[in-house]
Amino acid sequence: MNAKFKKIIPQLLTLAFVALVFGFFSYNAQLNMENRGISFGYGFLSQESSFDVQFSLIEYDGSHSYFRAYLVGLLNTILVSVIGIIFATIIGVIVGIARLSTNLLINRAAAYYVEFFRNIPLLLQIFFWYFAALRALPLPEDAEPIFGVIFLTIKGLFIPAFVWNNLDIFLYSLLAAIIATIVIRSYSKRLRENEGKHIPVLYISLGLVIGLPILSFLIGGVKLSFEIPELVQLAKTSFRFNGGLGLPPELIALTLALALYTATFIAECVRAGIQGVSKGQKEAAASIGLTPNQVLKLVIMPQALRIIIPPTTNQYLNLTKNSSLAAAIAYPDLVLVFAGTALMQTGRAIEIVSITMLTYLTLSVSISILMNWYNKKIAIKEK
Amino acid sequence: MFKIKQITSLLAVVAVLFGFATESFAAKKSKTLKNTIKQGFVKCGVSQGLPGFSNADASGNWTGVDVDVCRAVAAAVLGDANKVKFTPLSAKERFTALTSGEIDVLSRNTTWTLSRDADIGLTFVGVNFYDGQGFMVRKNSGMTSVNDFKDGISACTNIGTTTELNMRDFFNSKGISYEPVAFEKADEVVAAYDAGRCDTYTTDKSGLAAQRTKMSNPDDHIVLPETISKEPLGPVVRQGDAVWEDIVRWSLNTMIEAEEYGINSGNADSLKTSDNPAVKRIVGAEGEMGAALGLDNDWSLRIIKQVGNYGESYKRNIADTGILPDRGPNEIWTNGGLLYTPPAR
């Protein structure tokens, strides 16, 4: 009893100390705010924001609330993070494998890429891609169409927009195909394990995923047409594209900078992971007659992934947090819209900064949980 | 029976009632004044570089009409216009810096609005520049008026300013759809507009005139004639320190009133013997104006001698630099402008 008590006392004291420090600062802040006549509260979130945002995934304008503006910023942050993570992963894996290539040119090129991009501050790279792109891209009226329908200009990338008829039927058919594929896969696995029979799962799934949606076009009444962007004249020397889907240059530059920067770290993770698998594994796999491709896919990668995933999770988190540099180049992310304009218009620094911090924390923890789940799934299962 | 404490507080009340307020009494009442005297410099928040208003040269000397307000306060309180510590702030940071006590005067082309004045613990003490929001376009675009704007126009601007709100009001009232491209810092706005990202650049007209000088080719751009908003710019202090508020307000008023009465840095000393009592009050030769503010009686004379009157400051910073040679509304009321201060008496 006494020994147990002794053990608990230092922990209790530490806890009390932390609570005291935290309490002191929040009390102090409260007092200071009161002294300076600043009110505290979250009521402003429902007020009309009365400012517009350049680029939004949901319907928004200044007549909506500050909370809606918060959502606009949050979604834009998530958008650039997700696209950035996808591209960073693809580039990172390719470069990581390329660094181990026996081809000197590929090997060196990959190494130089990594050393170059990971050693320059990210903010500079963002400025570089943004202002370099602005200087290098043509004005709308001078833009040469790519494939006749895509226009890359100083005012953004304009691509044809999909105009769907009965989109829901198409989506249902796709969903049905995916569910069917999953069922067939698990059935084929059982069949293989129990009876040793093979069925061509890949071809059946491909047939389903492609076939069913096509069927929805033919008999389901689904129609797809394209809205091609067209040039509009605003003034004598001022043009823009109307219609189609426009991606602002800020989004493109930010994604590019984030992806290229983070990819270098992921490439190093991938290289370390592959090199971390002992040579004996590769030789043993080759000696039982697996092709080099099979060796990589069936033996090396599953083991390497266990080493790659945890540090790559860090990089995903970094990319998400780094996306807050968007404010420098006018991409309307959470920091620019909410911790920027909204903070300024309302003056509610403590409320808004605390919400923003909590939001980034939630985003990061979500990514962590997802990646930890995946890590656990591929970890060695001791039997 | 009276206790000693009660007697002293009674005496204090009597002292106030009979106008025995002394310099030390006002100083005691104002925490900001006390701290400023103790640390020996005025903590002043300015912009990150707006020619004519607050701009640092290569050797770190700040100049501009906003800078001069802080210098005037330093001359009045500390006796030396150079005893100012300037803190460059972005539009986003400025109010937090002031309410948190990092600075004591915010003189950073800040628009006086109701919500800023009433809601976030600030007090505006006056107007040192009457401005309004305008638009800049490329000359070769052929646009000569805001009536030439068409749907889909893209407009570059700063975040964290009244500009974003005015822009929305303006385009909504005209029924024109637009693409706002809002940057955190003015330098990036200029760079992006200059590169052709936007069709127009919108901010306060004084800002447009100043930023135009930073373009790669200033003559290629024009400022459209329309003004879409009222932007009275002025210095700001924290709410709740009435003495400090008065000091900043009357430092600015002194500069303006000095110009009205023709007092400048050259003739201020000789005007101590002027026949006009109003002039004598401004240069501290008559009355006890300083004591009411917790200062000595030469405070206003020092402002005029060290910083100059409003006209001198305007000429030095805005007119002679070619930013806005025409004073427009920023002329003394007797000359048809809007600058009109309550009398110093």
Confidence of residue B4 (pLDDT cuts 50, 70, 90): low
Which pair of tokens denotes residue B295?
Answer: 């200062």
DSSP-derived 3-state class of residue B337: coil
Question: Which residues of chain B have a CB within 8 Å of the CB of A139?
Answer: 196
Q: Where are the domains of chain B?
A: 21-130+233-334, 134-229
Task: Check A344 against B192: CB less than 8 A apart.
Answer: no
Query: Residue A380: how many CB atoms within 10 A of its CB?
Result: 8
- Which residues pair with residue B155 across a beta bridge? B180, B200
Q: Where are the domains of chain A?
A: 46-141+246-378, 168-219
The H-or-E segment that residue A183 falls in is helix A167-195
- The answer for A278, left when phi > 0, alpha when psi is -120 to 50, beta otherwise, is beta
- pLDDT exceeding 90 applies to what percent of chain A? 38
Task: Check A51 against B119: CB less than 8 A apart.
Answer: no
How big is chain B by its Cα radius of gyration, in Å? Answer: 22
Angle, alpha carbons B91-B156-B114 (nearest 5°):
40
Cβ proximity of B298 and B290 under 8 Å: yes
Task: Check B188 against A330: CB less than 8 A apart.
Answer: yes
pLDDT (average), residues A139-151 = 80
Q: Which of B32, B92, B222 to mutate to test the interface with A (most CBs of A within 10 A)?
A: B92
Does residue A50 surpass a pLDDT of 90? Answer: no
Question: Which residues of chain A have a CB within 8 Å of the CB of B188?
Answer: 328-330
Model pLDDT, residue B3: 55
Distance between CA atoms of residues B126 and B236, nearest Å: 8
| DSSP secondary structure code for residue A155 in this structure | T
Model pLDDT, residue B125: 95
CB pairs under 8 A between A and B: 134
- Which residues pair with residue B172 across a beta bridge? none
Residue B342 makes CB contacts below 8 A (sequence gap 6+) with: B253
Does residue A355 surpass a pLDDT of 90? Answer: yes
Residue tagged 């909204």 (tokens): A342
pLDDT, one tens digit per residue, over B112-159 is: 988 888 877 899 999 999 999 999 999 988 899 999 998 889 999 988
Query: Residue B58: how many CB atoms within 10 A of its CB?
Result: 5
Fold of B21-130+233-334: D-Maltodextrin-Binding Protein; domain 2 (3.40.190)
Q: Which residue has the higher pLDDT, B172 or A214?
A: B172
Same fold? B21-130+233-334, B134-229: yes
Task: Check B141 against A38: CB less than 8 A apart.
Answer: no
Contact status of B154 with chain A (Cβ, < 8 Å) = yes
Closest CA of chain A from B235, distance in Å: 17
Global pTM value: 0.77
DSSP-derived 3-state class of residue A161: strand
pLDDT, one tens digit per residue, over A223-277 is: 777 777 888 888 777 888 877 788 889 999 999 999 999 999 999 999 999 999 9
pLDDT, one tens digit per residue, over A209-236 is: 888 878 877 877 777 777 778 888 887 7
Distance of CA B98 to CAs B87, B129, B228, B255, Å?
11, 20, 28, 23
By Cβ distance, the residue of A134, A327, A343 closest to B192 is A134
Q: What part of B 180-239 touches A (C-beta under 8 Å)?
A: 180-185, 188, 191-192, 195-197, 199, 238-239
By Cβ distance, the residue of B141, B156, B195 closest to A131 is B195
Q: Which of B120, B166, B238 to mutate to test the interface with A (most CBs of A within 10 A)?
A: B120
> Does A46-141+246-378 carry CATH code 1.10.3720.10?
yes
pLDDT (average), residues A356-374 = 92
pLDDT, one tens digit per residue, over A76-103 is: 999 999 999 999 999 999 999 999 888 9
Which pair of tokens denotes residue B80?
Answer: 């030396």
Burial A35-61 (b: 16+ CB within 10 A, else e): ebbbeeeeebbeeebbbbbbbbeeebb
- pLDDT exceeding 90 applies to what percent of chain B? 59
Q: In chain B, how long is the greatest CA-to-CA distance?
A: 87
Contact status of A51 with chain B (Cβ, < 8 Å) = yes
For A102, list phi and psi in degrees, rounded to 5.
-85, -15
Task: Check B138 against A336: CB less than 8 A apart.
Answer: no
Model pLDDT, residue B19: 45
Q: Which residue has the higher pLDDT, A105 or A231?
A: A105
Question: Which residues of chain B have a CB within 8 Å of the CB of A327?
Answer: 159, 184
- Angle between the N-to-C axes of helices B242-260 and B299-306, in degrees from 0 to 180, rounded to the nearest 10: 60
The H-or-E segment that residue B8 falls in is helix B4-17
Cβ proximity of A245 and A161 under 8 Å: yes
DSSP-derived 3-state class of residue B157: strand
Q: Which of B89, B98, B102, B184 to mutate to test the interface with A (most CBs of A within 10 A)?
A: B184
DSSP of A224-287:
EEEE--EEEEEETTEEEEESSEEE-HHHHHHHHHHHHHHHHHHHHHHHHHHHHS-HHHHHHHHH
DSSP-derived 3-state class of residue B219: helix
Q: Are strands A151-153 and B200-204 parallel, antiparallel or unpaired?
A: unpaired
Question: Which residues of chain B have a CB within 8 Å of the CB of A343?
Answer: 92, 160
- Class of B134-229 in CATH: alpha beta
Closest CA of chain B from A36, distance in Å: 6
Q: In chain A, how long is the greatest CA-to-CA distance?
A: 88
Which pair of tokens denotes residue B42?
Answer: 């005025």
pLDDT, one tens digit per residue, over B25-60 is: 555 678 899 999 999 999 999 998 888 999 998 888
Q: What amino acid occupies position B182?
A: A
Contact status of B91 with chain A (Cβ, < 8 Å) = yes
Angle, alpha carbons B275-B277-B279 (nearest 5°):
85
Distance between CA atoms of residues A243 and A254, nearest Å: 23
Residue tagged 């100043």 (tokens): B210
ipTM > 0.90 (yes/no): no
Chain B residue nearest residue A250, CA to CA: B181
Does residue B302 surpass a pLDDT of 90? Answer: yes
Task: Check B239 against A345: CB less than 8 A apart.
Answer: no
Chain B residue nearest residue A51, CA to CA: B165
Closest to B235 in 3D by CA, of B132, B109, B130, B96: B109
Distance between CA atoms of residues B313 and B255, nearest Å: 9
Distance between CA atoms of residues A350 and B331, nearest Å: 40
- Angle between the N-to-C axes of helices A201-219 and A167-195, in degrees from 0 to 180, rounded to the nearest 10: 160
Contact status of A240 with chain B (Cβ, < 8 Å) = yes
Residue tagged 């990092």 (tokens): B102
Closest CA of chain A from B179, distance in Å: 5
| DSSP secondary structure code for residue A303 in this structure | H
Distance of CA A50 to CAs A7, A75, B40, B165, B170, Å?
57, 19, 43, 6, 12
Confidence of residue B23 (pLDDT cuts 50, 70, 90): very low
Question: Which residues of chain A have a CB within 8 Å of the CB of B197?
Answer: 134, 154-155, 249
Closest to B44 in 3D by CA, of B5, B14, B86, B2: B86
| DSSP secondary structure code for residue B126 in this structure | -
Residue tagged 């009244």 (tokens): B162
DSSP-derived 3-state class of residue A164: strand
Cβ proximity of B257 and B153 under 8 Å: no
Closest to A92 in 3D by CA, of A222, A226, A258, A270: A270
